[in-house]
Chains A and B, each alone.
Chain A
Amino acid sequence: MQAQFKKAGKQPSGSSAAALTDGRTRTQREELLGWALVLPSVAIILALILYPVLYNIYLSFFQVNLSGASRFVGFLNHREVLGDREFWSALLTTVMYVVFSTIGATLLGLGVALVMNEKFPLRGLVRSLILLPYVAPVISVVFSWQFFFDPVNGIFMDIFYDKLGWFSQRINLIGSPATAVWVAIIFSIWKNFPFAYLMILSRLQAIDQNLYEAAEIDGAAGRHKFLYITLPEVYFVVNAIILLRVIWNFNKFEEVYLLTSNVKVLSVYTYLKAFTGAMDLGQGATLAVLQFILLIGFILFYVKRVIKW
């Protein structure tokens, strides 16, 4: 289809040689057909993606009043958000959450993929069992984690405080704002590493075994084989996984909010700002816009500078 468009662009329109009975050239008609075919998808994208994005940007310039008229306030919302200490602390929490959960999930996925690439009995069964955290519904695992970390009755404190004495007192790890972010990070690593594992494993299986054999003949040790063959081979896949994980975790809401409402990452902070308390939808929209800009900025930087696509 693209080729057709290019051709149509080059050809002078209304060329009499190709003119057909309805006064349109064949290429013009094909162009029209092309537009007609893509129009439904374009319309859906415009309505479901572009419109909400634009409307959100529009809202960020207003003091939104749900039961009356909204008031245009220019950049007031943006200034207020940027001057809000809680915004910066939410941003810091988000960066922490994204960096650690992405690195953790990718490294763990890589490690597990390397192990699963070796032959051992019942490998097929183990390979599929590893996917469990990724496929289990988030709400059910969240409840078990909450029970696990319950300060009074949970298994975690029972083992690490009562039995092993690693803690000086019972701590509500999943509830206290200072520790909850780490629980959320560990939860995210545990829940999402199977995705990295799956992608890397499939890449590992496609590596040409001749490379390893040749390296062995040259006297390469296991470490060298990993550094000079495996890593370069999985480089792009790992980078793609990191990019996707950053995008997903930057916008992550349900895993964080359901597990513990005390970790104010940007998405949770936006929700709290827009839909609880004084329900400041204008500032909520502003937060969403800022989040969008930050993410786009990161993606451009990462793709151009790190992956160098």
Chain B
Amino acid sequence: MKRKIVTILVLALFAVSSAGLLAQGQEEAAAAAKPVAIEFWTTETQSDRMATIQVLIDTFTALNPEITINLIPVDENALATQTQTAAAAGTLPALFEGPAETAVSFGTQGVLDLQATKAIVDKIGKDRFYSGPLKVLETTDKSSYYALPYHGWIQGIWYRADWFEEAGLNPPSTWEDTLKAAEYFYQPDKNQYGILVGTLPEAYAEQCFTPIAMSNDAALFDADKNLVFNSPEMKEAVEFYAELAKFNPPGPQTWRARDYYLQGKMAMFFYSTYIMDDLAMLEVAAGSLTGDNFGDLSGADFDPELVKNTRIAPIMTNESPAGYGTVVALGFFQQKDPAKTAAARKFIEYLYTPNAYITFLHMAPGGMNPMLKEIASNPRFQNDPMGLFKSYGPEKMAEIIDGLENVETFSIVEGVRIEEASEITAKQIIPQMLYKITQERMSVDAGMRWAEAEMRKLID
């Protein structure tokens, strides 16, 4: 009798558990097909770029009807703030696309899903990526990655080679030559300006400043993670920057003032490779020109010779050579609902497939360069709709893409990743300091003291 009861009990238990398993299996199947909506924050806020990304989303959701993706534009300068407030409110999106430095700063705040990121790198294969950009996003213990490198640009000083040649000046590759040329071409009475460096408190100012500081061996941190911002080298760099800013167009300026170059009113400007299509294409440049719309103003028409007369000096040298570029990454924010992360993973995997990837990169040929080696050599990638590869030649383009291997930032010192430096970059402390010094007439010493105090607030 007892045995019978035990047998029945065991059978019943088995039945219950297998029914449970079955139910679980069904639930999993249901979860896969259950509709899930995720948000995707992108820093590509221009409407034409949003439209391209939307096309990719539409294609993806047609293949995966259970997934809905809401594309939300977030200004690059507001990304850190928006994330911090969304994290506090518990409304972080599943996915974001933004500068690698910002992604690292998110990672150190613990809001990123590193496992999901690592899984994608492993699935694609580490060796297929360019190693430089991947390194920028590696965690300190090298066990995972904060985000996935997706595209990148390099920056340099673009200059009027024809003007320089005529004046007998050297290309702006050293501090001395750059300052000399800026001074020479600064003729405000003729409405012509020497150079453009960022002086508004925005990311652009730091992008211009970083290669100048690095070329003077100035750093934010040493390899032991001590803040060494207030150094003689950094002071020299800030002073030099403030000196250059005197030959800027009047008042505080940001990247938008590159229009003056396209109008033939400026000799050089710091800019990324994003400028390449503006230089070469009339349609793209139209937004920067005023001559057609306002005949009476001293505007300008499109100059088809400009692309030939423009060169880039990608490396700045004083004490040592320094280049600058930015990797733009895709990252996962932690989600409570694993289905959202799963959907986001699926979407990112799709974004790395050749067709989707090349469509994305062709939004800004020259500006958006691939992070997978095989895409760079893909003939479809090299045949961009604007014909930019043809106008610049594949060699020049290859040179640009190779430049990404040597991207330097404040946040990697002797191979050690310094998360605090990314935090300082994300919070734009240096641009605010440069604004105070160049526009609010704060002394260099006072400005640097202010910046150092702000940086200490962030790292303590």
Contact = CB atoms under 8 A, between A and B. Distances in A.
A276 B431 CA distance: 12
A91 B189 CA distance: 37
A277 B201 CA distance: 10
A162 B298 contact: yes
A66 B84 contact: yes
Contacts of A278: 427, 429, 454, 457-458
Interface string B73-101: 00000000100110110000000000000
Nearest to B432: A277
Nearest to B300: A153
B260 A152 contact: yes
Interface stretch (B35-43, B246-254, B341-349): B246-254
Contacts of B189: 169
Interface stretch (A28-36, A53-61, A172-180, A184-192): A172-180
Contacts, number: 81
A261 interface: yes
A66 to B, nearest CB: 4
Contacts of B321: none
B439 A176 contact: yes
A276 B428 contact: yes
A171 B457 contact: no
Contacts of B260: 152-153
Given A67-B109, A170-B191, A153 B299 contact: yes
Contacts of B68: none
Contacts of A174: 251
A153 B432 CA distance: 26
B252 A67 contact: no
B245 to A, nearest CB: 13
A224 B427 CA distance: 61
A158 B252 contact: no
B85 A169 contact: no
A269 B330 CA distance: 33
B458 to A, nearest CB: 6
A67 B439 contact: no
B160 interface: no
A275 B290 contact: no
A155 interface: yes
B297 A158 contact: yes
B298 A176 contact: no
A110 B257 CA distance: 40
A66 B92 CA distance: 13
A262 B436 CA distance: 11
B440 interface: yes
Most chain-A CB neighbours within 10 Å: which of B84, B188, B250, B257? B250
Nearest to B191: A152
Contacts of B250: 151-152, 169-172, 175-176
Interface string B98-138: 00000000000111000000000000000000000000000
Nearest to A264: B440
Interface string A260-288: 01100000000000011111100000000
B111 A67 contact: yes
Nearest to B263: A153
B428 A277 contact: yes
A275 B439 CA distance: 22
B265 interface: yes
Given A66-B87, A153-B297, A169-B250, A277 B188 contact: no
B200 interface: yes
Contacts of A152: 191, 193, 249-250, 257, 260, 265
A42 to B, nearest CB: 26
Contacts of A155: 297
A279 B427 CA distance: 8
Contacts of B290: 153
Given A170-B191, A172-B252, A276 B439 contact: no
Contacts of A276: 81, 201, 427-428, 432
Contacts of B85: 66, 275
B298 A153 contact: yes
Contact of A67 (B81, B88, B251, B429): B88
A262 B200 CA distance: 9
A67 B87 contact: yes
Contacts of A262: 252, 439
A170 B110 CA distance: 48
Interface in B403-432: 427-429, 432
A176 B427 contact: no
A171 B85 CA distance: 38
A153 B258 CA distance: 13
Nearest to A154: B297
A177 B440 contact: yes
Contacts of A170: 188, 191, 250
B252 A279 contact: no
A279 B299 CA distance: 41
A283 B189 CA distance: 45
B248 to A, nearest CB: 10
B188 A175 contact: no
Contacts of B257: 152
A262 B265 CA distance: 25
Contact of B427 (A66, A173, A277): A277
A183 B251 CA distance: 14
A65 to B, nearest CB: 9
A16 to B, nearest CB: 56
Nearest to B289: A153
A151 B296 CA distance: 16
Contacts of B427: 276-279
Give me the 5 closest cross-chain CB pairs, A-B, nearest first: A172-B251, A175-B251, A172-B250, A151-B250, A66-B88
Given A67-B87, A170-B250, A276-B432, 5 more contacts: A67-B110, A155-B297, A175-B252, A262-B439, A279-B84
20 contacts: A67-B87, A67-B88, A67-B109, A67-B110, A153-B290, A153-B297, A153-B298, A158-B298, A169-B189, A172-B251, A175-B250, A175-B251, A175-B253, A176-B252, A176-B439, A262-B439, A275-B81, A276-B81, A278-B429, A278-B457
Interface of A: 66-67, 151-153, 155, 158, 162, 169-177, 261-262, 275-280
